Amino acid sequence: MKKPKIIIVTGLSGSGKSTALSALEDAGFYCVDNMPVLLLPDFLKLPSVRKPDEVGFAFGMDLREKSFLSSYKTIFEDVRVRGVDLEIIFLEADEEILLRRYSQTRRHHPVARDEGILDGIRSEQRLMAVLRKSAEYVLNTSRFNVHELKAAIKNIAKKLIKLAPMRIQVLSFGFKHGIPGDADLVIDVRFLVNPYFVPELKDLDGETETVKRFVLKNDEARLFLSKYFDLLDYLIPLYEKEGKAYLTIAIGCTGGRHRSVAIARRLYEHVQTAGREVAITHRDIDRQ
């Protein structure tokens, strides 16, 4: 039976652990924040954990749980003895950065109690020093923005597992039915000659060869596709590098039956030729 991959995300309060868990979730991990370490052995006994196709599990654990420091070492060692691949990512940041983040969010520091925030930060540093030394990965997030931190976490995940590629969705739609709310990129192809006004094409759709030939043989369509393909060939690797899990490219015409459908199909074929994971949906092809 395949043993699950476990990543423990821990470190100093305010260092970006929630963002790190979000990045791991995008990478396909099942994530639980503020997971009590005492529950980890029982969690690993659940039938759902034993699925051979699971990417892995990521748990946020830190001093918010009172028994964490006194229990983690024994439990982590026990889990590893049982053959589970467990890695620790420890996040930290400079004192002035942590102070600034706490002043911005006005959150209560879990260690500060009656002390000031700075005293709480320093106490937490001392308490977590041993765990920090045992971590496989230590990241100082002081100079990271959200996107840079997510990219750094995704790079670590790539070393640990084979990550699923970014999923690309090509979506045709009609503007008169509304712009798709989940679209990342939207292109308007209403500048192309409209088959709707050709009597023998009006009742067909953009998946028929007759309509596709009508739309794609146009010089403007060929020039547009050439330039748009160049743009996407440039952008898609950048989105992959940034750690984006999904990319939806929406192509719109007036009704979503003719021009957008034909262009979306050609775009789908271009992306598929590059070997990327891509799907196509014609949202409004059957609407009037």
pLDDT tens, per residue, the chain with 288 residues: 556 789 999 999 889 999 999 999 988 888 999 999 999 998 888 876 655 455 789 999 998 888 999 999 999 999 998 888 899 999 999 999 988 887 776 667 777 666 677 888 898 999 999 999 999 999 999 999 998 999 899 888 887 776 567 889 999 999 999 999 999 999 999 999 999 999 999 999 999 999 999 999 999 999 999 999 999 999 999 888 776 778 999 999 999 999 999 999 999 999 999 888 899 999 999 987
288 within domain boundaries: no
207 & 133 share domain: no
213 & 119 share domain: no
114 & 177 share domain: no
154 & 179 share domain: no
54 & 145 share domain: yes
191 & 222 share domain: yes
Alpha helices (H) along 109-218: 117-127, 129-134, 146-160, 199-202, 209-216
DSSP run (H or E) holding 187: strand 185-188
96 & 177 share domain: no
Residue 206 tokens, joined: 């953009």
Q: Which residue has the tokens 């271009």?
A: 270
Task: Kindly report, residue by residue over 108-151, the tens digit of the pLDDT.
Answer: 777 766 667 788 889 899 999 999 999 999 999 999 999 899 98
210 within domain boundaries: yes
139 & 214 share domain: no
245 within domain boundaries: yes
Phi, psi of 214 (to 5 degrees): -60, -45
**Which of 160, 194, 214 is where one domain is finished?**
160
- Report the half-sphere exposure of 237 (CA within 13 A, side-chain side): 7
pLDDT at 128: 94
64 within domain boundaries: yes
268 & 177 share domain: yes
177 within domain boundaries: yes
65 within domain boundaries: yes
Q: Which domain holds residue 104?
A: 5-160
Give how many domains the chain has, as a whole number.
2
**Which of 134, 160, 186 is where one domain is finished?**
160
Adjacent-strand bridge partners of 60 = 9
pLDDT at 114: 65
Dist CA 38 CA 65 (whole Å): 10
Please name the residues in contact with 45: beta carbons below 8 A apart, sequence gap of 6 or more: none
Does the pTM surpass 0.75? The reply is no
223 within domain boundaries: yes
pLDDT at 163: 59
287 within domain boundaries: no
132 & 193 share domain: no
149 & 17 share domain: yes
**Which of 160, 190, 205 is where one domain is finished?**
160
25 & 130 share domain: yes
Dist CA 127 CA 10 (whole Å): 12
Dist CA 106 CA 102 (whole Å): 5
**Amino acid identity of 259?**
R
Look up the CATH number of the domain holding residue 127. 3.40.50.300
